[in-house]
Amino acid sequence: MGIPKRKNMINVYGDKETYRGESVLKRRQELLDMITKSDSFLPDSILHDDLDKGMLDYIKETFKVVSDGVQIPVIEKILTIQRWGEFSANWEFSDGDGNVKLPFIAIIRKPDVQFGSNPAIQRTIPDRYQFHYATVPTWDGNQVGADIYKIPQPIPCDISYDITIVCNKFRDLNKINKIVLQHFSSRQSYTQVKGHYIPIVLDTIEDNTPMETIDGRRFYMQNYKCTMLGFLIDSDEFEVKPAINRAFIVNESLGGATFKRSYIGKSIDITLSTIISNGTTTTYSVGESITVLFNVSINGILQQKDLHYTYEPIFGGGSSINFNGTPLQGDVIVVSYYKGNNNKMYDQFGNELTVARETFTYNGTNLVFNVLQKISSIISITTNGLVEYSDEGYQLTGKDQITLTSAPVNGSTIELVYLY
């Protein structure tokens, strides 16, 4: 024997996307649709009674034998120990004595269901681990998200059945035997349970005909012993959990260090002191003397002096801000101020600086705003009380001009605090 050739990359379906004239993807979708419930993306449960029903349906559809012009009836229930139930299943074809008339076909299931030998699903994954089954988009009216559907590995199970035919004609035995051999010529036949193809294997054919009875009643009885290679899917084990929803949370962090704002070759040191509210105190100190107080904001919202807070300079400089209300615990308080040796500000050339505060109303078209003085440094620009940042919210486009980079709502109030 020569060395077997190694086959790489076996393409089962060839280069085409069709198999036997059918689109592979279409067929896959068909199979998926078959096992998916109509009202959700998850498959239906398959439990023992579903498998038994699948077997009953299979026998009823497959074992169609006509004897003396009448189809041999199949008792369409799995017979159990409740005696009254047996009669309810076969009264249609019982005689006056209450006995089932011959011929008939009955299905007897062995009560013990064994762990399965279905080759597709064996003991491969321990501990009922949940597998990803689908990601389903969700929309709650505000947020786009997704639910993650997970299901555990189906549990294989083998169920044994005796399909028994009781009749009084050899020809009927031949007919049913022909049907059985035809259907199991490839060892296994299939039934469909909630869209899943479930294999059935023919184990043995037994004859239990009481041939030796010379004085008693004679009839033929043959058992076709089959095993269904089923599996269990229990929807109670399914897991549907929301995936992580993406939310945009914007944190404005101004920092607490001194930084330098430059404009037209002049510069001035402005201090931003960040304090976290403890939820109880109304007075907060920046820890040093404030020469000129520019702004106080809470969580990025500008506070109005005397309305929201008061500041009393002591000998030209105080250090504490007194809020009229109590900031909530965790609120970020930012105090913007100039720290100097006296109550005057000078640039690096010794020129005294003055604070100016101007207010504009956005008219819906013009994003350019001209101020009355030549700007030395910008302390703050706010739109409806919300702080705008340099280059992001606005740009200096002239000595006495700023331009907003994006349009606010028509009628918005733009407040500009600057030094000149």
Partner 1 sequence: MNNKLPITRLGKFFSQDDFDINIQMGQEYLHGDLNMKLVLYRVDRQKTDNDDVYAEAGMDEIKFFPPVEFNALVKIEEPKNSTYTKGLMRYNEPGNMTLSVYITHLNDLGVDIRYGDYIGYADSEERLRYYTVTNDGRVTSDNKHKMFGYKPHYRNIICAPTQEGEFRGV
Which C-beta is closer to partner 1: that of 49 or that of 68? Answer: 49
82 binds partner 1 (CB under 8 A): yes
77 binds partner 1 (CB under 8 A): yes
Instruction: Take residue 171 and report the two structure tokens written for it.
Output: 């020809």
Shortest separation between residue 50's beta carbon and partner 1, angstroms: 8
Number of residues that this document lists for the chain: 420
**Judged by CB under 8 A, which of 15, 39, 97, 127 binds partner 1?**
97
φ, ψ of residue 336 in degrees (nearest 5): -105, 120
88 binds partner 1 (CB under 8 A): yes
| Residue showing tokens 């040191």 | 269
Per DSSP, 7 falls in state P
Residue 316 CA: distances (Å) to CA of 24, 284, 350: 84, 18, 20
**Judged by CB under 8 A, which of 15, 49, 215, 352 binds partner 1?**
49
Contact between 104 and 92 under an 8 Å Cβ cutoff? The reply is: no
Contact between 168 and 217 under an 8 Å Cβ cutoff? The reply is: no
Which C-beta is closer to partner 1: that of 91 or that of 259? Answer: 91
388 binds partner 1 (CB under 8 A): no
**Judged by CB under 8 A, which of 42, 43, 46, 56 binds partner 1?**
56
Distance of CA 147 to the CA centre of its chain: 2
Element (H, E) at 222: strand 220-232
Shortest separation between residue 40's beta carbon and partner 1, angstroms: 23
Beta partners for 336? 272, 295
Cα Rg, the chain, nearest whole Å: 43
Instruction: Take residue 379 and report the two structure tokens written for it.
Output: 């302390």
Shortest separation between residue 230's beta carbon and partner 1, angstroms: 14
139 binds partner 1 (CB under 8 A): no
* Amino acid at residue number 285: S
**Judged by CB under 8 A, which of 21, 69, 98, 287 binds partner 1?**
98
**Judged by CB under 8 A, which of 24, 36, 73, 86 binds partner 1?**
86
CA dist 336 and 268 (Å) reads: 13
Which C-beta is closer to partner 1: that of 85 or that of 325? Answer: 85
Instruction: Take residue 175 and report the two structure tokens written for it.
Output: 């007919």
**Judged by CB under 8 A, which of 13, 87, 129, 197 binds partner 1?**
87
**3-class secondary structure per residue, 52-79:** HHHHHHHHHHHCCCEECCEECCECCCCC
**Judged by CB under 8 A, which of 53, 225, 266, 399 binds partner 1?**
53
CA dist 212 and 202 (Å) reads: 27
Shortest separation between residue 81's beta carbon and partner 1, angstroms: 9
| Residues in CB range of 25: below 8 A, 6 or more apart | 17
**Judged by CB under 8 A, which of 24, 35, 89, 146 binds partner 1?**
89
215 binds partner 1 (CB under 8 A): no
Which C-beta is closer to partner 1: that of 23 or that of 80? Answer: 80
Which C-beta is closer to partner 1: that of 55 or that of 296? Answer: 55
Which C-beta is closer to partner 1: that of 193 or that of 292? Answer: 193
Q: How far apart are the first and last CA of the chain?
A: 98
The angle formed by the CA atoms of residues 305, 309 and 312, to the nearest 5 degrees, is 80
Look at the alpha carbons of 127, 133, 134, 140 in this order and tell me if their dihedral is positive or negative.
negative
210 binds partner 1 (CB under 8 A): no
**Judged by CB under 8 A, which of 13, 19, 91, 259 binds partner 1?**
91
Instruction: Build a one-symbol-per-residue string for 360-379: x at contacts with partner 1 by CB under 8 A, - elsewhere.
Output: --------------------
**Judged by CB under 8 A, which of 78, 176, 333, 378 binds partner 1?**
78
52 binds partner 1 (CB under 8 A): yes
192 binds partner 1 (CB under 8 A): no
Contact between 412 and 366 under an 8 Å Cβ cutoff? The reply is: no
Give the interface size with partner 1 as a residue count (CB under 8 A): 20
6 binds partner 1 (CB under 8 A): no
> Number of helices and strands (H, E) in the chain?
4, 30
85 binds partner 1 (CB under 8 A): yes
Q: Which residues form the interface with partner 1 (CB under 8 A)?
A: 49, 52-53, 56, 77-80, 82-89, 91, 96-98
